[in-house]
Every structure is written in C-alpha cells, then in structure tokens.
Structure 1
Amino acid sequence: MSRIDTARLRTALAAALLFSACQGMAEVAPAPKSSPSATRPKAASGTVADTALTWRRLNTEAFSRKQDDIYFVDRSTGWYGNGKGLVYKTVDGGETWSKQWERPGTFVRALGFVDSEVGILGNIGPDSFPGATDPLPLYRTTDGGASWTPVERIDGPAPVGICAIDVLHSEYINAGVLDRRTTLRAGGRVGGPAFLATSRDLGRSWTSVDMSAHTAMILDVKFVNEQVGFIAGASHSDVAQSHARILKTGDGGRSWRTVYESQRPYEVTWKMSFPSEQVGYVTVQNYDPDSAVVQRHVAKTVDGGETWSELPLVADHKVREFGIGFVDELHGWVGATPNGFETRDGGKTWTPGRFGATSNKFRIVRDAKGVSVFAIGPEVYKLDLPAVAR
C-alpha cells in the first residue's frame, strides 16, 4: 500500500471513529471494582469529605447508545434527553422518570433550564447522524417540559446544530436594587460548522454569530461570570487535521482568543468543568487510528484559563474521553469508554470510576443538605455526597 493510500485509510478510520463516538456506539463495559477508600488521597480542606462513595444506577428506560445531556434545577427536579427525540423528567431526584416529549428526527444533544418552568433544548441538526432530520436548532418550554415550541427568532446566521447550552445566573444592581439576570448561550456543532447563539430574554430571542474564524467546531460552552467564558473547540473540521482547541473571552463574548491547542492531529476537545473561576478541566478526545498512539490527556488550568497544562489520564488506545465533572478543585470524574475515571488530587492520579461507560455529561447540584452528582451515558447514575462548608 502506498503512503498516500495509508494516509487516506487513517483519515477514513478516524472520521468513522468520530462519527461512532458521537453517536455513542462504543461497547459498554462493566464498571470495574473501585479502589479501597483507604488508598485514596485525603480530601483537602473545603472539599467533599472522604466517605464511602457509591454510584447508583437509576431506573431509566433502556437505551443502547450514549445519551448526551441531563440537567437539574435542584436536587429533585431534572430532565434528560437522547438521540431518539425523547425527553424525560423527574421530580424525586431521579428515583422515577416520566416521558414528557417525543419527536422522531430530533436529536436531543443539549439541555438547559432557567428554573423549573423555562428551559431550552438543543438539536444536533440534519446531516449529522442517521435519523437526525430536524433542521430546527432550538426549542423552548415554559411549562417544565410538558410542551416544547421551536425558537422562531434567531438574529444573524442560524446555527445548523447545537452541542452545548450554558446557563449563567448573575446578580446586578437594577435601579438601586440587587436583581438577578440570566444569560443563555448555545453552541455547535461537532464536525462543524461553528456558531454561538446568545439570549438575554430567557430564550425568547437569540443572536447568533459565525465562529468559524476561531474554531471549526463547538463542543461545549462555559461562562464562569458575565465577562469570562470558554469554548471547547477544534482547529479543523477534518478530524485527521484537527488539534484540540480552547477559546477564551474576557469581554462577554465580543472577542475570542485561543488559549490552548494540542500538538497532535486527530484531536478535538469535548466537555468542560470549572469548579471555580480559576480552576478548570477539559477532556481531550483522540481519534488517531494508529494503535501505537496510546496516551490520553485532560487539559487543566489553575489561572483562570490563561494557560493550560496536559495531565496524563491513561495510556490505552482503546480509551476515548467524553464528559467531565468536578465537585471541587480536586475531586472529579471523566466519562470514557470502556470505563470512566475518578481523581481526588486534581488530576495527578486517576482510578477507575463506577458510573457506567461513555458518560457524556456530569451535572452537580448542591444545597444546604448535600450534593448530588448525575452522570448520563447509555444509563443514568447518581452519587449523593454530604454537605461541606465552603
């Protein structure tokens, strides 16, 4: 086989892997046994106490592929959706779920809720996966998910599809009174093109911006305050030529700059977690079909996203990373196939996780009584932690 034919084969294999992983067709392996708690690093001051951690698989409807997003407005009320156009709701912390919505052709890629009534749903869009035919990128509910209507007003170039929704609540002074406002952002998509839409009226209307000058894809969006935000992206729409890329804005999204880019081809970023404004983590996906490429990485910042370092996760060609969630600056989880990982020391060391394979999103909800962590993949898992003074 010629060198050109070999390169073409590697490109085709990588593209197939990206499609398969995004669709969630990876084999689901049994969760490995966890390490004894005595071998775990002690929790630092201000972190979740080092107690026996038990993830519970919740009673959800069987689904053979990766499901992409789950969202809770408090420890009782939440929703999740999947690629079959299905949305489910719980009002008892995930113990029971009811199907609220079904729309064949819609691929529910992202969810975000302002409160228990108002929410936004992001659709991956057509020409992405088999069966995904719905061209409408955004839907909105005002009755807690009982009904969803298409978002009709999108000023600027409408997104082709959505991969991430960010909900930012912030306080401000309104005519001498402390008030609260919400900014919604929706970005996408995997494989491109890249658009970022913003709403400041609870999702009634949106302004969309073409982000292709900065990134070929948008896989995740996270704002830590009104001015500072991040985009998980990629340098090229062709995965064989792509490097993982992270963008940062310091002016509320008016301008963006690259603050991290991997040096390896066949890479994209995937999901982000910021346990504080200074410390953040991003999963880096590698699709290189060369079995000799084994090292997997997580990118980390400790200076508010100005600089990023690569943390070794595992040396295993079979591993592909997905979601990431940190309950504090040290303690977090990475969803992956064939199994996920947990760290107690800020990513210095990792042990196998017990929350199922291919977990694409972690949602962390806390109140005065404690903390609940939800992980969604083919199944939904829940971890309850005690409250800790912060």
Structure 2
Amino acid sequence: MRLLGVGMCAAALAAGLLAAPAYAEAEDVHDVQGYDVQGLRGVGWALKETGKDSRFRGLAAVSRSTAWVAGSKGTVLRTVDGGRSWRDVSPPGAVAEGLELRDIEAFDARRAVALSIGEGEASRVLRTEDGGATWTETFRNPDPRAFYDCLTFFDSRHGLAVSDPVDGRFRILSTDDGGRNWSVLPSTGMPDALPGEAGFAASGQCLVSAGSRDVWLATGGGAAARILHSADRGRTWRIAESGIPAGDPAKGVFALAFRDRTRGLAVGGDYRTGEASPQAAAASADAGRTWSPAQTPPPAYRSGAAWLPHLRDAALAVGPTGTDVTTDGGRSWRPLTPGSFDTGSFDTVDCAGDGGCWAAGEKGRVGRLEPQGGA
C-alpha cells in the first residue's frame, strides 16, 4: 500500500521443546523441561545484534541457525550461526538507490528472492544463488500505476507477487522458475477491488501460500478488510470478509499465516500510533471461506503472524507494542510472558520447520525465540 509503503525456534524453541512427538499434538501437557507448552511461558525474544539501523520488514527463517532479513536502505543481512554474526549481503544497486526491501523469501542459505516496493520502477525483484555475494534483478515494474507489496513461493520454482489494484483489480505477478523470470497473470479471474482497497507492505505477509497451489491475499483501506483465496496459483480468486475493522486507509488485515490448506490466521488493525485496534484478529478453519473474530484479540495493532511448528494450535503475532501468543488456534490471544526477554517492537515474524522462530523490525532489531537462559 502506498501510504504505508512510503510512510511508514532452537534455538527459539529447541528441538527438545518442540519436536518431541510425545507431546507435539497434546493439549493437556503443561511442563516440558521447565517450559509451559500451553502458555508458552519461559520463552521469549533474545535480541541478536545486527550492527544496522535499518527497519527490517522482510524476514525469511530457514532454520534455527539460518535466517535472512531485508529492509530499508536496500539492506539485506544473513546469518548462518543462529544470529551470533550477520553478513551484510545487500545488493549494491539497492543500497545506492535506497530501495525499500519489504519482503524476502529464502529457499536455503544460498538462494533467496527479495522484493523492493514502490510506485513504478521502484517495485523490483532481486535474486541470489550464492548467499548474497551477487544479485540479479529479475523484474522491474514498468507500469507507474502498479505498486508491489508482497511476495510468496509455493516451492523453489513457483511463486507470486501482488500489486495494489491497477484498473480496479489487484495485479498478480508469477514465476515458475524460482524467480528468474516473471509475467503478469491475466486479471479475468480477479474480482473487482473496492474503492481505496490495497495491500499493506508491512511485513511481507499480505500474500501467503500453503501447499502447492493455494494462496491468500489480505487487504485493507477500503470499506471492508477482505481476504482473497486462490486454489490455482493466482488465476482465479474468491472473496471473504475478515471482520477486522476497515473503512480507513490505515486499517485492515496486515498479515496472514496458514498452517496448512485449511487453517489460517489474520491480524491487523490501525497502524497509526496511539489509535485503537479492536477486533484486530480472526481465524479460519475452511481455507479462508469464512473468518471468525478472535474472542480475545491482541490488545493493539499487529503486523506479523506465524504458526509455531509442531504445536498444533500455537502461533505468534507481533507489532510495534509487543508480541502475543495464541494456544487455541487464534480464538484468544495474550501477551507473551516476557520474563527476562525483550518485549519491544517487531514488524514481522517467521518460523522454520525445525522450530527456529525469528522476528525483525525497526532500528536493526532481530530476535530469536529462545527458552529462559538461552538456547
């Protein structure tokens, strides 16, 4: 969205905490190695010094040890040692032009695709195959009316990016070769956008996928905050209303997270500092056909969300004022018990399959979710 775009766990939870099949799906286990499974007590964000002051809204968690972050000033960092050290792998051209890199998707420690946002040619896609040593620009938006917000991949070959509406409909960009080449999909299967409706380039999570063909798009800014779903990699879409308040350019759904093809979470609110964000979370159990508002939503605007691996109903939501956790699939949220951990601002959160969960945000902040006393 233009307004936000120009304005604005092992470590985490070590294999011993998350991967044990004896309790991974249990709902009545409360203590595992001193860790409250239901309340996620005894864990929190351990900050990992990056040495940068960029705002990192793009994040890709590859594993407990490997993660990528992308942000303002064209900055991209990568760690392969759990955040103990970071390598500056920023694309030189992006740094020179001060591009806003708002999303990054990584397949492993060497291959990643980053999205720069903005009107016209500011929207670009960059790709690396050597851990960021070199980057190739694979797409530069030629249309001054388009503004790309988010990026997602179904697998290492098939991916999509979304632009705010052009000629009254969201525009979808597609690749089938890992981001080397891109093409705009026909708009015939995309419903009309509402007046003022757009996506939020807040966390790289306004466009998310699950499985080989399903993808969801979150919107705001219009009269209703809607969630669009495609089951054919972006060619045709259907619409559902999220129930999250909208009706203002600063309000709507800012992030989605799907555990699988059916179970999803939506978070958002009003991103303006000091503004209330009631009913700013919802959940779906039917692939996004319908959404139910959280009975106890997060207390403030949230811009990022991620399911915790191996814990069936647990997920995290982050925002400028803190982190919230649900252990009942999004029906209720409560602040993550901080203990001695950091409780500050994050914009985005992502979890890898091995249990490594990372968060990133303003002033170069990156954290990894860890048990009390460190991983």
TM range (shorter): 0.7 to 0.9
Match for residue 320 of structure 2?
Answer: 337
Deviation at 1:297, TM superposition (A): 2.1
- CA root-mean-square deviation: 3.5
1:204 aligns with 2:186: no
Structure 1 residues 121-270: aligned runs within 5 Å:
121-126=114-119, 135-152=122-139, 160-169=146-155, 182-189=157-164, 194-209=170-185, 213-214=192-193, 216-219=197-200, 220-234=206-220, 239=221, 241-262=222-243, 264-266=246-248, 267-270=251-254
Q: 1:269 touches 1:284 (CA, 8 Å); kept in 2?
A: yes
Quick one: structure 1 residues 290 and 261, their matched pair in 2 at CA, closer, same or farther if it must change by over 3 Å? same
More relative contact order in 1 or in 2 (CA 8 Å, sep 6+)? 2
Match for residue 61 of structure 1?
Answer: 51
Q: Give the secondary structure class of the aligned counterpart of 2:265.
A: strand
Match for residue 8 of structure 1?
Answer: none
Deviation at 1:334, TM superposition (A): 1.1
Question: Which residues of structure 2 form unaligned runs of 5+?
Answer: 9-22, 36-41, 201-205
Identity %: 22
Quick one: structure 1 residues 124 and 152, their matched pair in 2 at CA, closer, same or farther if it must change by over 3 Å? closer
Q: 1:113 touches 1:167 (CA, 8 Å); kept in 2?
A: no
Once residues 230 and 281 of structure 1 are traced to their aligned partners in structure 2, the CA distance between those partners, rounded to angstroms, is 11
Once residues 227 and 108 of structure 1 are traced to their aligned partners in structure 2, the CA distance between those partners, rounded to angstroms, is 25
Q: 2:246 touches 2:252 (CA, 8 Å); kept in 1?
A: no
Structure 1 residues 1-390: aligned runs within 5 Å:
19=3, 23-24=7-8, 45-46=25-26, 50=31, 51=35, 52-63=42-53, 66-101=55-90, 102=92, 103=95, 104-126=97-119, 135-152=122-139, 160-169=146-155, 182-189=157-164, 194-209=170-185, 213-214=192-193, 216-219=197-200, 220-234=206-220, 239=221, 241-262=222-243, 264-266=246-248, 267-286=251-270, 295-314=278-297, 319-327=300-308, 328-353=311-336, 354=338, 356-367=343-354, 371-378=355-362, 379-384=365-370
Question: Which residues of structure 1 form unaligned runs of 5+?
Answer: 1-14, 25-42, 128-133, 170-180, 386-390
Q: Give the secondary structure class of the aligned counterpart of 2:43.
A: coil
Match for residue 20 of structure 2?
Answer: none
Q: Give the secondary structure class of the aligned counterpart of 2:78.
A: strand
The count of corresponding residues between Structure 1 and Structure 2 is: 322
Q: TM-score, normalised to structure 1's length? A: 0.71
Q: 1:58 touches 1:380 (CA, 8 Å); kept in 2?
A: yes
Once residues 185 and 158 of structure 1 are traced to their aligned partners in structure 2, the CA distance between those partners, rounded to angstroms, is 20
Task: Name the amino acid aligned to 1:302.
Answer: A
Following TM superposition, where does structure 1 have runs of at least 4 consecutive aligned residues deviating by more than 4 angstroms?
18-24, 46-50, 156-159, 189-193, 287-291, 312-316
Once residues 60 and 105 of structure 1 are traced to their aligned partners in structure 2, the CA distance between those partners, rounded to angstroms, is 19
